[in-house]
Amino acid sequence: MNELDQRTINTIRGLSMDAPHAARSGHQGTAMSLAPVAHVLFSRIMNFNAASPDWFDRDRFILSPGHASILQYSLLHLYGFGLTLDDLREFRQWESATPGHPEVGHTAGVEVTTGPLGQGFANATGMAIAEAHIRARLGADVCDHWIFGLCSDGDLQEGVSHEAASLAGHLGLGKIVFVYDDNAISIDGPTDLSFSDDSAARFRAYGWHVVEAGDIGEDLDALESAIREGMAVTDKPSLIVLKTTIGVPATEHAGTHHAHGYAIKDDEIAATKTAMGLPADETFHVASDVAEYCRTLGARGAERQSAWQARVDDFDGDGIALAALVRGEAPDGWADALPTWNVGESVATRKASGAVLQALADVHPGVLGGGADLTGNTGTVISGHGVFRDEPAGKQIHFGIREHGMGSAMVGMAAHGHLVPVGGTFLVFSDYMRAAVRLAALGHLQMVFSWTHDSVGVGEDGPTHQPVEHVASLRAMPGLDVWRPADANEVAAAWGAALGRRSPAAMVCSRQNVPVLDGVDAAGVARGGYVLHDPEDAVATVVATGSEVQHGVDAAATLAASGVAIRVVSLPCWEVFAEQGAEYRASVIPRTHPTISIEAGTTFGWERHADICLGIDRFGASAPGDEVMERFGMTAGAVVDAVRAAIS
């Protein structure tokens, strides 16, 4: 190790103490102990251009233990990504560029939002899928990069890491290299309080290449050699098991569980800085030669980027695929491929969703995905484009029974750019995916969750498989568009709207057949809600979503026969509807007369739209789906009764 490398590492360690101390909050120890390996990655291994952090063919870096964010922020400052020392001084403060955990889209150089342990590790699987797929489609001259990451004991204890590691090993994703910080410390104390896995053996069983590097955390040459050994194996992902001492070289708390959080303070910071040769009385110290050294390293990729750009400019392959997969430009006319259905047909919206997905996959280079072993059931079959494991250019991905891993992989695929991943399972199992969905929403990442079997209409499987609270709980999540289309044509319109927005979409579809309705308006669907049936002199409004819209239509016909006119509103996406102006919303759901809602789920939240809410505020029951719906009052007759009660 040369003297400048050592001083750079010491500088990172000094910043990793100073920023949490200034904030009186944060995690110091992991950032300090991982400073050498992180510096090796950035200075000797990774291909990037700090001045162009979004360059498509850069190597990706994932800090899965996001609580050690000050490590990443220190690197981004030193290597020239645009973070200033003032940004570091504002660590964890309001509207700063250095929040408590890294957030994609918020800070240049952050690839994924990490914090919930295991998520970043699992995102890497999706990033590697994206890299392999695009490389197979466009060639290594356009796409050929690595996904590097740091992970912790906590990451490997979380269940999502097991799912993701199993999937990555099965798929043979050879462009992943993770360094596992095996420091044997967690917040509660030594990890042997709760964790005695043989992680190396576990990963070998998953099909990973494992390098048991041992206690080489301060030896830069040995660290580089271990990482390059992992890179030499290109048919499977690699895990470098590194023994470290948390908080090293802190004079008092190194090696203790206290160093996991904010424990290194005034006197110990000064003593530790003195031991490292840093000014003990200066905070956020970065020597000019250290800054110059790192900035020079951070600019090395400019020449590589220029050479890459020249190859892209000379690309003579599929120009539409290049534009979509490298620049994120959807092909012209993709919406024209959306299928339509005739009024009077009877089609389960999950089947319609599958037809839409197939049509989009045929014309949109970025669309790919599959199901969590429920591919046919959830309408996530993509025919004619190959299976990813058999051929990396294939668009059909079999995620296996790994809902959580699937969701996190989708986040990684979307964050990698420029794919539109699709993943399907039953709506009730969206619970398994909640953390990944939340991070997708937080990161404003475009993807489609195809969640089907959306109500007690599932029938005989009973309450364990009948979602009643799920739609309402998903609507409570900021940044997630929850679509529950009424019929096949609304499905197509909802997909079209979803692909035109930069946010994750939940496509919530029925198991059972529903009629194709008259009056469906694609433009109204794209606004989240619209008037489906609008007679003159309406005395009440019925508003519904999904399979219950038909009951509003049937109730309107029944009531019209007795001289009572009602308006019927379809409200497929509350989130998009809420974005419309107050005037439009009032024109769709006027409050000048009673409003009745019906949805086969909890009534929670419907009070914002309706005076009388028909729903299911209990768990379901095992019986044929039609019978369960009828017994819970999800019928046109119940709507008729509610309207008569309201107007009388």
Q: Which residues belong to the active site?
A: 403
Angle at 246 between CA 240 and CA 250, to 5 degrees: 140
Q: What is the largest CA-CA distance in the chain?
A: 91
| Cis amide linkage into residue 249, ω under 30° from 0 | yes
Residues, the chain, total? 648
Give me the phi and psi of 391, to 5 degrees please.
Answer: -145, 115
Whole-number Å distance between alpha carbons of 245 and 32? 9
- State the DSSP string of 519-532: T--HHHHHTT-EEE
Chain centroid offset of residue 13 CA: 31
Question: Helix 288-298 and helix 69-78: axis angle, to 10°?
Answer: 90
Assess contact for 39 and 8: CB atoms under 8 A.
yes
Spatial neighbors of 61 by CB under 8 A, at least 6 apart, are: 41, 42, 46, 48, 72, 109, 111, 148, 149
Spatial neighbors of 125 by CB under 8 A, at least 6 apart, are: 164, 165, 167, 168, 171, 173, 176, 405, 408, 409, 412
Give me the phi and psi of 533, to 5 degrees please.
Answer: -135, 120
Nearest alpha carbon to residue 79 among 48, 35, 120? 48
Whole-number Å distance between alpha carbons of 371 and 45? 35
| Residue whose pair of structure tokens reads 């990944």 in the numeric block | 436
Distances (CA, A) of 562 to 483, 532, 634, 635: 34, 20, 22, 18
User: 151: which strand partners?
Assistant: 180
Could you tell me the two tokens for 8?
């750079």
Chain centroid offset of residue 497 CA: 19
Whole-number Å distance between alpha carbons of 526 and 209? 47
Assess contact for 424 and 452: CB atoms under 8 A.
yes
Chain centroid offset of residue 41 CA: 25
Give me the phi and psi of 612, to 5 degrees please.
Answer: -125, 125
Q: Which helix H or strand E contains 315, and what residues bound it?
A: none
Give me the phi and psi of 426, to 5 degrees please.
Answer: -70, 145
| Cross-sheet strand order for the sheet of 504-508 | 367-371, 420-426, 447-452, 504-508, 481-483
Q: Which helix H or strand E contains 344, and what residues bound it?
A: none
Any idea of the CA torsion for 492, 495, 497, 500, to the nearest 10 degrees? -130
Specify the amino acid at residue 84. T
